[in-house]
Amino acid sequence: MRTRAIDPTTTSYAQAFEVEGPSRWLFVSGQVPAHGDGGVPQTFGDQCRPAWANVERQLSAAGMGLDNLVKVTIFLSDRLYRDENMRIRHEVLAGRTPALTVIITGIYDEAWLLEIEAVAAA
């Protein structure tokens, strides 16, 4: 499989992401900011990390990792979290630049400040 970020930015995403010849696709449902015991932290920063960890857990279960991400959609409960979301996403992705959409929306559970869904290819 060959991948290529098209017009990548300095904030960990690309305007487009080309995937050539994948043999497997993984569609990750929205991952919420809950820990394994169901506990949800109160602050956005403390929620962002378990949400990303849950994405990574699903990737790992399919024998993939962050390098396999081709598209990420992040749902934020409020614009106020935009900058912190970008900073933590940039940290987590560590130079990886999948295609990205961020949507400000109401989220299923009022305690959740974000939800992350993803598409990966291998």
pLDDT tens digits for 22-50?
Answer: 789 999 999 999 998 999 999 999 999 99
Q: How confident is the model at residue 119 (pLDDT cuts 50, 70, 90)?
A: very high
At 64, the amino acid letter reads: M
Burial 9-18 (b: 16+ CB within 10 A, else e): eeebbbeebe
**Residue where the block lists tokens 């409020």:** 78
Is this prediction's pTM over 0.85? yes
Structure letter (DSSP) for residue 42 = S
Q: Among the residues of 1-122, which ranges form H helices?
A: 44-61, 82-93
Question: Token digits for 30?
Answer: 């929205």
